[in-house]
């Protein structure tokens, strides 16, 4: 949970969000990242509930805005990972508001279709606008929403967009409608930025750059100095001290699991080695703690691919450990 929170904090910096908007949202496709930053309004990280009746602040019959109250009263509610509003232009006459939700997943879920969940989140964003963004029957005032999902530990990098279309099945009439009110973007990343194919069409270049940036931000393969250099030089993202702190806390927490396990393994190995007077004790201690680490991470929902990268164990060995210890594979 701590790692997830720090990952959201790193992702929630306006310089990172602006890059995502420039590469994934049509309204910002012709803008520079630095020009988008000032258009982003307050960013709420893990504060606004998804659940019906809890998204807005209500006093009597009036709605005053998003419910950002971070108290035990709403404990247990599902919350949007990141939620913010962004203006499409500095020119007040041309600008309109877009609501953006960004969600992070450490892997593709096994128990349900992720897109179905994304549709629910996007629909909740739309329905929560009633009395806040539009009133009575003024449905033309509905604000466009984007729900952007970043899914880690995928086998391939990918960017998919899901949205409404209007098909005429009979006759020639076309209904006036805004089919782009709900937009869902699913971004799959592998965590390996250098494995991305650079030879893509001009139409796919923005998606490639988006995957490379996110892989750079969350990869375990970089020292932080190299990570910051890449973010600034390749993606023109300014990395200030606050962003560095968020990234370093995220990386330290991720590495901490393995480091603690290795330390415990060495200690246990030395203890057993002394007790038995054999060198094998050290190795057995390491193996036992590594086995416990693998089982614990898998039960916590980490994918076999992620465990393999962190623990430096082959995926087939991880599967064997799980099977030998009665853990059901899914």
Residues 318 and 201 in one domain: no
Look up the domain containing 69 and give its range. 2-239
Q: Is residue 133 part of a domain?
A: yes
DSSP 8-class letter at 238: -
What is the distance between the alpha carbons of residues 79 and 171, in angstroms, rounded to a whole number?
Answer: 44
Q: How many other β-carbons are positioned within 10 Å of the β-carbon of residue 80?
A: 23
Residues 219 and 283 in one domain: no
Examine the pLDDT at 282 and tell me if it is beyond 80.
no
Pairing of strands 82-87, 40-45: antiparallel
**Considering only 8-22, 55-69, 154-168, 290-304, which range has the smallest mean pLDDT?**
55-69
Residue 109 and residue 196 in one domain: yes
Which residues have C-beta within 8 Å of that of residue 106, sequence separation ≥ 6? 4, 152, 153, 301, 302, 303, 306
**Residue 90 confidence (pLDDT) above 70:** yes
Same domain, 280 and 196: no
Listed in sequence order, the DSSP H helices in 234-329 are 241-276, 280-299, 304-311, 315-324
Q: Is residue 110 a part of any domain in this protein?
A: yes
Is the confidence at residue 60, as pLDDT, over 50?
no
Contact between residue 85 and residue 96 where contact means Cβ atoms under 8 Å apart: no
Judged against a pLDDT cut of 50, whether residue 87 lies above it is answered with yes
- pLDDT range class, residue 303, cuts 50, 70, 90: confident
Query: What is the model's pLDDT at position 280?
Result: 56
Of residues 81, 99, 114, the one with CA closest to residue 146: 99
Rounded distance, CA 158 to CA 190, Å? Answer: 9
Select the more confidently predicted residue: 105 or 69.
Answer: 105
In this prediction, what percent of the chain has a pLDDT beyond 90? 33
Number of domains in the chain: 2
Whether residues 205 and 113 fall in one domain? yes
Give the mean pLDDT of the chain.
Answer: 80
Helix (H, G, I), strand (E, B) or coil at 43: strand
pLDDT of residue 21: 96
Distance CA 223, CA 244 (A): 12
In the structure, what pLDDT confidence band is assigned to residue 171 with cuts at 50, 70 and 90? very high
**pLDDT tens column, 221-273:** 778 888 899 999 999 998 888 888 888 877 765 554 444 455 555 555 555 55
């Amino acid at each position: 949970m701590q790692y997830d929170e720090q990952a959201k904090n790193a992702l929630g910096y306006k310089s990172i969000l602006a890059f995502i908007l420039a590469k994934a949202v049509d309204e910002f496709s012709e803008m520079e990242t630095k020009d988008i930053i000032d258009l982003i309004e307050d960013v709420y990280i893990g504060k606004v509930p998804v659940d019906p009746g809890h998204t807005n602040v209500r006093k009597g019959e009036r709605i005053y805005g998003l419910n950002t109250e971070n108290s035990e009263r709403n404990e247990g509610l599902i919350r949007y990972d990141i939620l913010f509003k962004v203006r499409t232009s500095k020119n007040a006459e041309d600008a309109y508001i877009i609501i953006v939700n960004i969600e992070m997943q450490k892997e593709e879920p096994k128990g349900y279709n992720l897109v179905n969940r994304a549709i629910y989140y996007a629909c909740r964003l739309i329905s929560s606008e009633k009395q806040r963004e539009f009133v009575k029957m003024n449905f033309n005032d509905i604000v466009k929403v984007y729900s952007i999902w970043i899914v880690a530990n995928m086998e391939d990098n990918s960017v998919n967009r899901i949205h409404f279309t209007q098909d005429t099945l009979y006759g020639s009439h076309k209904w006036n409608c805004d089919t782009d009110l709900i937009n869902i973007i699913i971004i799959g990343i592998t965590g390996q930025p250098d494995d991305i194919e650079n030879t893509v069409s001009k139409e796919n270049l923005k998606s490639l750059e988006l995957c490379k940036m996110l892989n750079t931000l969350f990869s375990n393969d970089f020292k932080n100095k190299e990570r910051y250099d890449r973010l600034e030089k390749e993606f023109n993202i300014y990395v200030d001290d606050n962003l560095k702190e968020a990234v370093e806390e995220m990386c330290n927490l991720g590495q901490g699991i393995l480091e603690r396990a290795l330390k415990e393994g060495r200690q246990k190995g030395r203890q057993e080695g002394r007790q038995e007077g054999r060198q094998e004790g050290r190795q057995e201690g390491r193996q036992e703690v590594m086995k416990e680490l693998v089982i614990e991470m898998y039960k916590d929902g980490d994918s076999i691919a992620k465990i393999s990268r962190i623990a430096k164990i082959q995926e087939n060995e991880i599967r064997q450990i799980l099977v030998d210890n009665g853990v059901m594979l899914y």
